[in-house]
Structure 1
């Protein structure tokens, strides 16, 4: 995970603001239990004479080093336009007290309410607060909004979800995300273990560090212990009761992000919500790839000014959903630019959307239904070229040409399109299925096939078939019995031009995206009226051409020195003798030194996913990290290794951590855990 600021000729660095600003580099915010959280604040210099509303970003990613560069382009911008912009490290992260025991605990929300109390009582505060955040910060905004603190008037949530079980990094469609469940846990495992800064907390840093190292758990143990949608996942999932959120919400994401789907659900169910989806990866839209980036900070100001200052900026008179319809493009693992167009829908669901059904018939995807049955066997190595679940904009994140995958699945191909088609929303695959095993999954890919043969993955979905009726109460399949199931694919905004074809690929294996079923599965797909691909087709609207955004503006980027450049590789290998397939994903995120505080930080991460042909129980995921943070003669390093395997009955987890101070090992520990498989 790299927080970068890319250069662009059209990205204006703003240095002149309506209000002169100052930065308070460190301040303690007291909690009701006596602990304290570390914060940085940017605000107008005259805010105590002329109080201002506040903007809160509340995340665990270390304000003094890891996010300092990205914080520098955003928070001063808000402050210069008349806001107190506050960046808080949550409990157990950065210089804040305590230990971070898991994601999104009630304690985290309670602390946020204390932070809102504290902000409301400051002499520079009008008492009105907005929250903004991407990813963890976006989740936090939704969850804190549901707690209804009187000072919190609105939120902007980016790249987040309303559903922690069905649409997050742990499980999707009732399947375990093999590529990301362990990776994300290993990421937080090493992130949480970083020490506080001695310059901020003093001599207690070492004692506190050892406490964190010993008592911060590997989150993956808890996540794998909850394999169905139980109370653990319901907590923090605002979809459990959308009516808990009574304030306006601006929901933002991108088509390359792993968290696009929730935008549609939020704007449908929250009356004062607006949605924005661009072509972007998991990043803020003013700096995101692929282009076009937009003047997102200006859009934020329009939102803040309306809801926090009471100025009618006109933003609530605009369409409920603004999206970027991407043009068809050849498959590439990285794009700098995605051609397309902005469109606007006044409401969601939109009256401009109509369903169009396609029916599989042997190897054709036609608009006529014909009865037949098709055998769909398992090929365990299917899925190595799917790209990453949640791209951050790094080179190599995206899916390769799907011709590399199609030979390992059952593929239905349409006739060439006779007219242009624009898809906006959720593709759905409805199917009548038989399985020869009690436990099985169904993976579905939707591709845009060019006349020259290239196949671009445009959406995918997966369903654990034991979860066909409920994620909370799964039940086994009866081999040979027919089931009617529906797989929702990820939402898309995609143009399919004349002459292109649709490809629909189905398989009971999708490694390493989904953890394999315990036994190799053969499915039987029964075609006919009940087996169909349903696409949301959008008709162009007269106001589409009116969608415009300003060019991006950012504040002055914090000065840094690059000590080591970034490096990225993703390699798939196949041993034809053993039948073993391997994906090695390596990311050296580089090393930097911040000029303002002298802190140096950097990391390296290698993730390896292996499986043998015809052997689902050979699946192994492993994640390695090396992370450094230091200053001058104070240098720390963390080295971790995480691994996950399974047999028919259990999952097996191993996590190891070693910590070094100035080259000397001062801590080492191994965690081992065996967890029973539960319909996985």
Structure 2
């Protein structure tokens, strides 16, 4: 039997981590009897399951006894993220290729979906058994991919002859796509080298590369992980006690959880977020070299919580002389009073001379982290008096929100005497000069047309919009997940027309308090074939909502699938499936 390979498919759209990378890693650990022809894998944006969390520390909610998937820095995908995957999984067969059987095939597919809750927060499953991996793995991710930490764990736990890693300045897209921040590299040529070496036995030099190739202020090469020329450097945080009581809307400038290259996917200037946080700065000397970081920044904090628990979010920022603040890494943790260690997500970054390294600490980070309700807080819908906003925004202490008591739940005070920043500082290494990639090569585009839609209601929708209702005290974040390369209407060369609309909304009411937090996702996909006789139409609509209720967090998902053939008495809409799932999760 000819030897085969398993290739990861990073999803190009829908702003969600895809299963392809996970599938490749699981395949790499299959026994020779289960996959005798498997010779190598390429895993892009994969997840090894070793950073699953228990509880509800992230926007993925909680499960108490169940471990759920999470990403770099301890953040989990939004509870409504499954709406995109559900819409794609419910797509109908195309009658041009499936013929008259399309309806029966679709009904069977939907029946499989109907058996469970496909949009519920996914269990993390069994972590990858590193000692079971038997074929070489090329692990690739971008610094803006929430699953990038997997690459470093694979390098640390797999023997050198079974792994190579690449971490570059990319979002959740293939490295040759050229999405910001870039630069793009010749990923297709790199994978061809990998396949030719492991499948054909050709001498391509694929295994002569450093164990890790990463981007900081250029390409770097490291032959071990962790490398000996990465030194932990500790910086003490200076100042007096710093109260942290951030407004509940702190975090709206976090960017998309899984950025895919959209204009507003990456975090913007962090000065507004910094003003709502307790900030500690470390100067990079103007006359010295850059401070180059590779790995996981770690922040140690001495916390005195206002209540039984505090929800702590840390951001590491690069502050330029003009005040511009660029997000470098972040992490989150929840706990009682005491000393907490926040391990930020992996990063590769160089702080230039004359800049400042900023540690910004907040007690809120919505919608990436569910706000912490006060002990004994009333259920949503209870009448609560609204109080005015209190406090001022300082460079040291975070400002309180307009919560009725004037002090939002989850607040705390930092004692800088017990706080420190530990950076993995990298020195130049012998492999650096030899590391590089060819330019990207791609096949000619498919020829997808994007018709001009005059007067389309969503034609002018911004990709990411923050709305403040001053009268109600409500903040709302609206994201258009279809604002990428193709837009929402596409015409394919074979005659298929696809209309797609996706709006994600995250809302919180400063006056009503933490229990007002709500997230909602709406996905609509419509397929049309005017070239068939009679014309064919099909539609999938998914609506997902998550928020607090009397028992904790409630996640509700609704799926509606309709098919239409022709017009007149013999045609019309037919509902093939209308199903609603509800899942209750413990209150964080």
Using the size of structure 1 for normalisation, the TM-score is 0.70
Give yes or no for the alignment of 1:144 onto 2:22.
Answer: no
Match of 1:624 among 522, 525, 539: 522
Q: Is the 8 A contact 2:556 2:580 kept in 1?
A: yes
- CA distance in 1 between partners of 2:495 and 2:9 (Å): 22
Aligned equivalent of 1:54: 4
Determine if the alignment matches structure 1 residue 646 to structure 2 residue 548.
yes
2:210 corresponds, among 314, 319, 331, to 319
After superposition, the C-alpha distances for 1:240-297 in whole angstroms (9 at most, x for unaligned) are x211112111111111222211111111111121111111111111223133211111
Structure 2 contact 85–119 (Cα < 8 Å) conserved: no
Determine which structure has greater relative contact order: mean sequence separation of CA pairs < 8 Å that are 6+ residues apart, divided by chain length.
Answer: 2
Match of 1:637 among 525, 539, 549: 539
Q: CA deviation at 1:214?
A: 5.2
Q: Aligned to 2:449, what secondary structure does the other structure show?
A: strand
Q: Is the 8 A contact 1:278 1:323 kept in 2?
A: yes
| Alignment CA distance shift 1:303-1:341 (3 Å) | same
Q: CA deviation at 1:188?
A: 1.3
Distance in 2, Cα, partners of 1:575 & 1:345:
50
Partner of 1:495: 350
Equivalent residue runs for 1:246-645 within 5 Å: 246-271=134-159, 272-290=162-180, 291-325=182-216, 340-362=217-239, 373-418=241-286, 419=288, 420-465=290-335, 477=336, 482-519=337-374, 520-528=409-417, 530-563=418-451, 568-588=462-482, 589-595=487-493, 597-613=494-510, 615-632=513-530, 633-645=535-547
Alpha-carbon distance in structure 2 between the residues aligned to 1:650 and 1:214: 30
Task: Describe the SS at the equivalent of 1:555.
Answer: coil
Provide Cα deviations, 1:495-539, integer angstroms capped at 9, x if missing partner: 1111100111111210001112222112122333x5211001111
* Equivalent residue in structure 2 for 1:194, among 77, 84, 91: 91
Preserved contact between residue 75 and residue 332 of structure 2 (Cα < 8 Å): no
- Separation in structure 2 between the aligned mates of residue 166 and residue 410 of structure 1, nearest angstrom: 28
Show the counterpart of 1:161: 47
Match of 1:443, SS state, is: strand
Aligned length: 509
In 1, Cα distance between equivalents of 2:111 and 2:268: 41
SS in 1 for 2:323: coil
Cα gap change, 1:484 to 1:220, in 2 (>3 Å) = farther
Q: Cα distance 1:433–1:196, how it changes in 2: closer, same or farther (>3 A)?
A: same
Match of 1:658 in 2: 560
Deviations 1:425-468 (A, max 9, x none): 11011122232333432110011111011111111111233xxx
CA distance in 1, matches of 2:23, 2:89: 17
Secondary structure of the residue aligned to 2:237 is strand
The 8 Å contact of residues 185 and 219 in structure 1, kept in 2 or not, is answered as no
Matched residues in 1 for 2:46 and 2:71: separation?
Answer: 17
Q: Is the 8 A contact 2:3 2:38 kept in 1?
A: no
Structure 2 counterpart of 1:181, from 73, 78, 82: 78
Q: Say if 2:5 and 2:39, in contact at 8 Å, map to a contact too.
A: no
Give the 3-state SS of the residue equivalent to 2:106 in structure 1. Answer: helix
Distance 1:517 1:421 in 2: 35
What is the DSSP-based 3-state SS (H/G/I as helix, E as strand, rest coil) of the residue aligned with 1:361? coil
Work out which of the residue numbers 106, 128, 131 in structure 2 matches 1:209.
Answer: 106
Asked if 2 retains the 8 angstrom alpha-carbon contact of 1:578 and 1:612, the reply is yes
Alignment map for 1:68-107 (pairs within 5 Å): none
The CA deviation at 1:163 is: 1.9
C-alpha distance in structure 1 between counterparts of 2:9 and 2:562, whole Å: 26
Range 453-462 or range 537-546, more displaced: 537-546
**Structure 1 stretches lacking a partner, 5+ long:** 1-50, 68-102, 104-133, 225-231, 326-339, 363-371, 466-476
Say which SS state the counterpart of residue 139 (structure 1) adopts.
helix
- The alpha carbon displacement at 1:666 in A equals 1.9
Q: Residue 567 of structure 2 corresponds to which residue in structure 1?
A: none
**1:635: how far off?**
1.5
Let me know the Cα RMSD of the aligned residues: 2.8
Taking a change above 3 Å as real, the CA distance of residues 392 and 676 of structure 1, as seen in their structure-2 partners, is closer
